[in-house]
Amino acid sequence: MSPPTAKQADLFSGVRVFYREQGNAINAPTILLLHGFLSSSHQFRNLIPLLATEYRVIAPDLPGAGFTEAPSNFVYSFESLTAALADFLDVLHIKKFTMYIFDYGAPVGLRLALQRPEAIQAIITQNGNAYLEGFGDIWEPLREYWTSDDSLEDRKKIEDKLLTFEAIKSQYEHGTPDVSRVPLESYYTDHALLQRPRMREIQIDLLMDYQNNLDLCAEFQEYFRKSQVPLFAIWGKNDAIFGPAGAKAFKRDLPNAEIRLIDAGHVAVESHTELIAEDILTFLREKNLWELDVGMGVM
């Protein structure tokens, strides 16, 4: 099976987005894959070919991640990441898509859904949270940071807690029954890319801004209620970052949502790639989503 193609897209803002793409770009519907904290489209390198048998699959590196380049005056916030993603979709002339949201990709994708509800045909969420009860105890250091003065000392504490090699590795291995299924290049790549100039500063800026996503949870949930967007939550049930309560909560606003808890940790796409791909393809086939205009005019 051939690997996805690496490409770049230049936005009017000066951002140059690196992305991976595979599948029929003319006739096939599109699946957009949105990566998580400290990761990039690299985490989808094995998933993309499996989905590309039936769909056009696109996985961008968000600004501050992977190989996407942003101008020196780019402000790193979730609002700006969403704006860059919207521009990216416009450059590629993508008007409708299913999105796979994970970790950081969840607030970015859901912010986009608030702006363009008519574009979202379905949502696949793999440990991508939208409910306050999904946040585990591991968030306590960040909650303390959000109430701090954001001093150099405060930032250093967060760096030492969350940006070390061991912390990155733990995201992949914690809660994974068989860590041999997690490729070494996953967390080594994330850590290596973090060593570039300004990257730690950028990540800490985003960690501070993450609190604004919590303020939007009520709006995300209102979007679910109004749109009744088809949603499939496939969730690593052993995740200490976004626990299974976050997956189950989708049923509150989307009674027809499908929830599957699997014996995996946070980055389940690395350890359970084939299972996740098969379940996504089954979900999309059963829903026959491409005949629907999900979300049209609901907001």
Q: Where are the domains of the chain?
A: 5-136+213-291
Strands of the sheet containing 56-60, edge to edge, are: 5-10, 16-22, 56-60, 30-34, 97-101, 120-125, 231-236, 258-262
pLDDT at 132 over 80: yes
If 0-12 CB within 10 Å is exposed, 13-18 middle and 19+ buried, where does residue 181 land? middle
The confidence score (pLDDT) of residue 183 equals 95
Is 266 part of the annotated catalytic residue set?
Answer: yes
Contact 35, 43 (CB under 8 A): yes
The confidence score (pLDDT) of residue 164 equals 97
pLDDT tens per residue across span 263-284: 999 999 999 999 999 999 999 9
Query: What is the average per-residue pLDDT within 53-65?
Result: 97
**5-136+213-291 CATH:** 3.40.50.1820
Residue 289 binned pLDDT confidence (cut-offs 50, 70, 90): low
pTM across the whole model: 0.95
Mean pLDDT of the chain: 94
pLDDT at 1 over 70: no
Catalytically annotated residue among 35, 42, 266, 272: 266
- Tokens 């979900």, located at residue: 283
Query: What is the average per-residue pLDDT within 116-141?
Result: 95
pLDDT at 43 over 70: yes
Residue 238 CB contacts under 8 Å (≥ 6 apart), including other chains: 174, 175, 176, 177, 263, 264, 265
The span from the CA of 240 to the CA of 134, in Å, is: 10
The confidence score (pLDDT) of residue 137 equals 87
pLDDT at 298 over 60: no
Query: What is the average per-residue pLDDT within 139-164?
Result: 96
Residue 119 binned pLDDT confidence (cut-offs 50, 70, 90): very high
Contact 154, 62 (CB under 8 A): no
The span from the CA of 44 to the CA of 34, in Å, is: 9
pLDDT tens per residue across span 155-169: 999 999 999 999 999
Sign of CA dihedral 198, 199, 202, 203: negative
